Amino acid sequence: MSADLEKGKKSVLDELAKEPVGGHPGNDFFWVVLQLSLRGTIGALMLASIAWVPGMKSVGLDRYAAFMPLAICIYVFTLNPIVGTVVNNAHAGMYGTFLACLNIFLLRGFFAEGVQPGDGAFSTVNVVGWADFLILDFLFLITECRLGFRMFFLANHTGFMLAFLNPADQTPYSKNFKINMNGTAVSSFIGVAAGSIFAILTMLLPYPWRFASTTMKANAVSAAKD
């Protein structure tokens, strides 16, 4: 028994001795950042190719070219070294944008053109528009929802409502409960959804990478050694 204990003790000490005090020189996170950069760059180029490559027209993807600038922007901000964080960011962005789009879709279903030049300050469309704008902004600011979800909802909702309340605005939207695929709200959702979903695919292809469970196990082993 004593011999086994001494053998085990020596094995542990030999393992610890392999790593110098303070760790090896350099940044251990370098390879993680490098791989994330490579995956992100390739992903961004693939999204951009939908707008850049003429051959995309032959496969019917050219119709999404107008959405790619927003999709790439969302894609870059959604990426993270942990798969779970990417999924959380993607869900928050898509869900927040969807709710803002749904709200303006319903609002323009009843008031298709929004506020018009002849509408008074206390007209029905003005009162409903301002109430919708302020109440939803207030609710999402005081509730304890995820930061990403709140940011995407408020950003889209504020833009949509400012256009709705502006008598001179001519921005295209879905109206009378009919979806306009070229409308601003639909374009916003497609761009956010494309960037978010592609960010998840980036973490899964060409092979799944950096799941939280794996990272936590490695951190736990490192903490136990220390």
3-state secondary structure 37-54: HHHHHHHHHHHHHHHHCH
Q: For the segment 110-162, what is each residue's pLDDT rounded down to a tens digit?
A: 999 999 988 888 899 999 999 999 999 999 999 888 888 999 999 999 999 99
CB 209 within 8 A of CB 86: no
The secondary structure of the chain, three-state, reads CHHHHHHHHHHHHHHHHCCCCCCCCCCCCHHHHHHHHHHHHHHHHHHHHHHHCHHHHHHCCHHHHHHHHHHHHHHHHHCCCCHHHHHHHHHHHHHHHHHHHHHHHHHHHHCCCCCCCCCCCCCHHHHHHHHHHHHHHHHHHHCCCCHHHHHHHHHHHHHHHHHHHCCCCCCCCCECCECCCCCHHHHHHHHHHHHHHHHHHHHHCCCCCCCHHHHHHHHHHHHHHC
Tens-place pLDDT, residues 71-125: 999 999 999 989 999 999 999 999 999 999 999 999 999 999 999 988 888 899 9
pLDDT tens-digit readout, 20-35: 665 566 677 788 889 9
Average pLDDT over the chain, rounded to an integer? 85
Read off the pLDDT of each residue in 195-219 and give the average, rounded to a whole number: 83
Residue 153, pLDDT score:
95
With cut-offs at 50, 70 and 90, classify the pLDDT of residue 54. Answer: confident
Binned at pLDDT 50, 70 and 90, residue 58 comes out as low
Contacts of 132 (CB under 8 A, 6+ apart): 103, 107, 161
Query: What pTM value is reported for the model?
Result: 0.79
pLDDT at 165 over 90: yes
Nearest-angstrom CA–CA distance, 18 and 118 = 80
